[in-house]
Amino acid sequence: TPESSSNQIVITNNVAYQADDLDAYDSDCDEINLAKIALMANLSHYGSDNLAEVVTCTKINQDNKHVNDLLTAELKRYKS
C-alpha cells in the first residue's frame, strides 16, 4: 500500500540519519581522545611543581567563587 511504502521510506531515512549522527559522535569522541592524549603529552613536559601550582590556583579560584556566591546571596537578602 502507499502508506506502508511511505512508512518504509521514513524509517529508512531515519535510520540513515541516526547512522550519520553516530558517525559524527564517534568522530567527536576520537577528537576528544586525541586532545586528551595531546594534553597528557604536554603535561608530561612540565615539572610536578608547576602542576601543583596549577592545582593550587584552581583551588583558590574555587574558594573565591564560593565566598563570592555567599556574599552575593547575603547582599540580595539585605536588599529585599
Is pLDDT of 30 > 80? Answer: no
Is pLDDT of 50 > 70? Answer: no
Mean pLDDT, range 6-23, rounded to an integer? 49
- Cβ burial 41-72 (10 Å sphere, 16+ → b, else e): eeeeeeeeeeeeeeeeeeeeeeeeeeeeeeee
pLDDT score, position 66: 92
Q: The whole model's pTM is what?
A: 0.36
Distances (CA, A) of 52 to 6, 32, 56, 60, 75: 62, 24, 6, 12, 35
